[in-house]
Chain A
């Protein structure tokens, strides 16, 4: 008789949802290759080669924003250190790509990457072992951010660190990692990071076809990440998360482990962020410690709030729109970008606290089911 949770689940995975999802996926996955490959390059709608990795980069940012929305929008965990998980995934990919260079580096050393030769190192550090193999790197892309989130989250959530205090320690975490990765003796290329990649799984990274392939992999990862986040948020666990976001102690008195529930989404979210970082690195061609900078992590929160927190799709919309604006404005008037970004955040908070997608929901253009209502007073 109680039709709601069952009916809600059905509409959440109903034909309406799939129609929208497939439409978005087709546009993202087909339009770019068609405009890039089959439209003559002198046509107005042709997509030049250099834009493909740029769009791929936006999709990686969208996956990163999605991962933050999962913890922030649904479980109330405002992580201001998600850039760290992104960067760690990126470094794991960067290490694999460095090993693929082989003897084609400037020094032509068959054993060591260029920066280690430059630092006069004699042998490969132990933590570089295995990065010759893509499967090892792929496992590390998932495990390194995941394990960090698991340990960090366990310490924080077990001690019931919440709200602004949690935001501050996540920020401190990414800052500490940034300082560590800046050091040459850490073995990750220090200040300069890692760059000058040649190929990935045998495909030349400078070829447009490889870049198109990476774009399509990013699209797939974003689509899969979205479905996964949606599955979590509309499950009973999703309702537990919403409940603990609004009344954490009440959830404890119902017998749920708040620590475990938070730890689960936080770790899942860190893994998604790591995958986003791993796909980002071959498309931009470099990873360096600035990816850990606290400002980067704060920017992710701005993407999510502009798009609409607690909506999942809003995170994607926000990440793409803000980064489009950033690309355009840092070209047209670079000195104004930070002011525009700040103003955007303030304006969103004041004028459309539910973000763009939240605004569409309240205008009933989009059906509002399976999105998280914001708690009162925020």
Chain B
């Protein structure tokens, strides 16, 4: 296939990506395409390479081989984390990582899409429209009352939402969510699914998740990873009936 044209048309393009750690291939010639505006869920057993795939896309890990392109032109395998973030790719980690010693509001302030330059941040002032944006986001993630609390004092679920809010406020075009409902109650999981579906209306989202009920509730295209490459792809019903998938993942 003509890789160049495929790369240009898609938002996120991975071709033949291999990453090995001490001989163990975390990703084995992984090829994956995510279209603009898509909501994609990625599932797979532990060690299938889900988190490594996110590490490669966000610049935390350099691939040993293969191509990673964003919008066809930006070669993500050559950029560092900050540069990739500034292209409009946001990531939510498996364990919620908010800045525990800053307040909820300050967490959002740092996530605004203002200049990231060191000297600019030294003299930065929060303009009224930026403050309105923070207020809108606080309302959207339901943390208006906790704005002045330190983020470390939030519950687990609230931290997950704050982290989603931190991605949301920047208005990024691609969000990578690593297990957004891990450790959440059923009620919180439902609320998070609603939030993700709402966010997916105007951006591309890739969700890595274990919780099959949650994946089903998102109703999106599913990619199954296994041993570092794609095992199956399609609707949730399609992949759940795939004999290979049943064997390696769902059958257990």
Q: A253-B85, A257-B116, A257-B118 are in contact. Are A235 and B90 (CB under 8 A)?
A: no
Minimum CB–CB distance from A322 to chain B (whole Å) comes to 27
The count of chain A contact residues (Cβ–Cβ below 8 Å) is 33
The answer to whether A252 and B80 touch across the interface, beta carbons within 8 angstroms, is yes
A240 at the interface (CB under 8 A from B): yes
B171 at the interface (CB under 8 A from A): no
Contact of A236 among B60, B80, B110 (CB under 8 A): B110
The answer to whether A239 and B118 touch across the interface, beta carbons within 8 angstroms, is no
Minimum CB–CB distance from B110 to chain A (whole Å) comes to 6
A327 at the interface (CB under 8 A from B): no
A132 at the interface (CB under 8 A from B): no
Contact of B121 among A236, A250, A263 (CB under 8 A): A236
**For residue B107, which residue of chain A has the nearest CB?**
A243
The answer to whether A240 and B126 touch across the interface, beta carbons within 8 angstroms, is no
The answer to whether A246 and B99 touch across the interface, beta carbons within 8 angstroms, is yes
Which of A96-104, A121-129, A177-185, A369-377 touches B?
A369-377
Q: A249-B60, A252-B81, A254-B110 are in contact. Are A2 and B99 (CB under 8 A)?
A: no
The answer to whether A250 and B116 touch across the interface, beta carbons within 8 angstroms, is no
A203 at the interface (CB under 8 A from B): no
Q: What would 25 A/B residue contacts be, using CB atoms closer than 8 Å?
A: A1-B131, A2-B105, A4-B103, A4-B105, A5-B105, A235-B121, A239-B106, A240-B110, A243-B99, A246-B100, A249-B60, A250-B98, A250-B99, A253-B85, A253-B90, A254-B110, A254-B166, A255-B170, A257-B116, A258-B82, A260-B118, A264-B119, A373-B150, A375-B100, A375-B101
Q: How far is the CA of A2 from the CA of B105 in the complex (A)?
A: 8
Q: How far is the CA of A132 from the CA of B101 in the complex (A)?
A: 49
A256 at the interface (CB under 8 A from B): yes
Q: A1-B132, A252-B81 are in contact. Are A235 and B118 (CB under 8 A)?
A: no
B213 at the interface (CB under 8 A from A): no
B106-123 contact mask (Cβ, 8 Å, vs A): 1 or 0? 100111000011110111
Contact of B124 among A235, A255, A263 (CB under 8 A): A235
B222 at the interface (CB under 8 A from A): no
Q: Which residues of A contact B102 (CB under 8 A)?
A: 239, 242-243
Contact of A373 among B101, B121, B147 (CB under 8 A): B101
The answer to whether B122 and A4 touch across the interface, beta carbons within 8 angstroms, is no
The count of chain B contact residues (Cβ–Cβ below 8 Å) is 43
The answer to whether B122 and A232 touch across the interface, beta carbons within 8 angstroms, is yes
B212 at the interface (CB under 8 A from A): no
Q: Which residues of B contact A324 (CB under 8 A)?
A: none
Q: Which residues of B contact A243 (CB under 8 A)?
A: 99, 102, 110
**For residue B133, which residue of chain A has the nearest CB?**
A2
Q: A4-B106, A236-B121, A250-B99 are in contact. Are A255 and B86 (CB under 8 A)?
A: yes
**For residue B126, which residue of chain A has the nearest CB?**
A5
The answer to whether A257 and B132 touch across the interface, beta carbons within 8 angstroms, is no
> Chain A interface (Cβ within 8 Å of chain B)?
1-2, 4-6, 232, 235-237, 239-240, 242-243, 246-247, 249-258, 260-261, 263-264, 372-373, 375-376
Q: How far is the CA of A158 from the CA of B50 in the complex (A)?
A: 28
Q: A235-B121, A239-B102 are in contact. Are A253 and B81 (CB under 8 A)?
A: yes
3 closest residue pairs by CB, A with B:
A255-B85, A252-B81, A236-B124
Q: How far is the CA of A354 from the CA of B189 in the complex (A)?
A: 39
Q: Which residues of A contact B73 (CB under 8 A)?
A: none
B91 at the interface (CB under 8 A from A): yes
Minimum CB–CB distance from A352 to chain B (whole Å) comes to 19
Minimum CB–CB distance from A202 to chain B (whole Å) comes to 38
Kindly name the residue among A5, A235, A254, A257 whose own CB sees the greatest number of chain B CB atoms within 10 A. A254
Minimum CB–CB distance from A354 to chain B (whole Å) comes to 13
Q: How far is the CA of A210 from the CA of B245 in the complex (A)?
A: 84
The answer to whether A239 and B122 touch across the interface, beta carbons within 8 angstroms, is no
**For residue B99, which residue of chain A has the nearest CB?**
A243
Q: Which residues of B contact A6 (CB under 8 A)?
A: 126, 131
The answer to whether A242 and B101 touch across the interface, beta carbons within 8 angstroms, is yes
Minimum CB–CB distance from A268 to chain B (whole Å) comes to 10
The answer to whether A250 and B97 touch across the interface, beta carbons within 8 angstroms, is yes
Q: How far is the CA of A4 from the CA of B108 in the complex (A)?
A: 12
B52-64 contact mask (Cβ, 8 Å, vs A): 1 or 0? 0000001010000
Minimum CB–CB distance from B56 to chain A (whole Å) comes to 14
Minimum CB–CB distance from A296 to chain B (whole Å) comes to 30
B135 at the interface (CB under 8 A from A): yes
Minimum CB–CB distance from B76 to chain A (whole Å) comes to 13
B148 at the interface (CB under 8 A from A): yes
Q: Which residues of B contact A253 (CB under 8 A)?
A: 58, 81, 85, 90-91
Q: Which residues of B contact A232 (CB under 8 A)?
A: 122
Q: Which residues of B contact A260 (CB under 8 A)?
A: 117-118
Q: How far is the CA of A18 from the CA of B15 in the complex (A)?
A: 60
B214 at the interface (CB under 8 A from A): no
Minimum CB–CB distance from B169 to chain A (whole Å) comes to 11
Q: Which residues of B contact A1 (CB under 8 A)?
A: 131-132, 135
B26 at the interface (CB under 8 A from A): no
Q: How far is the CA of A240 from the CA of B122 in the complex (A)?
A: 9
Q: How far is the CA of A251 from the CA of B132 in the complex (A)?
A: 23
Q: Which residues of A contact B93 (CB under 8 A)?
A: 250
B152 at the interface (CB under 8 A from A): yes
B141 at the interface (CB under 8 A from A): no
The answer to whether B110 and A246 touch across the interface, beta carbons within 8 angstroms, is no
**For residue B58, which residue of chain A has the nearest CB?**
A253
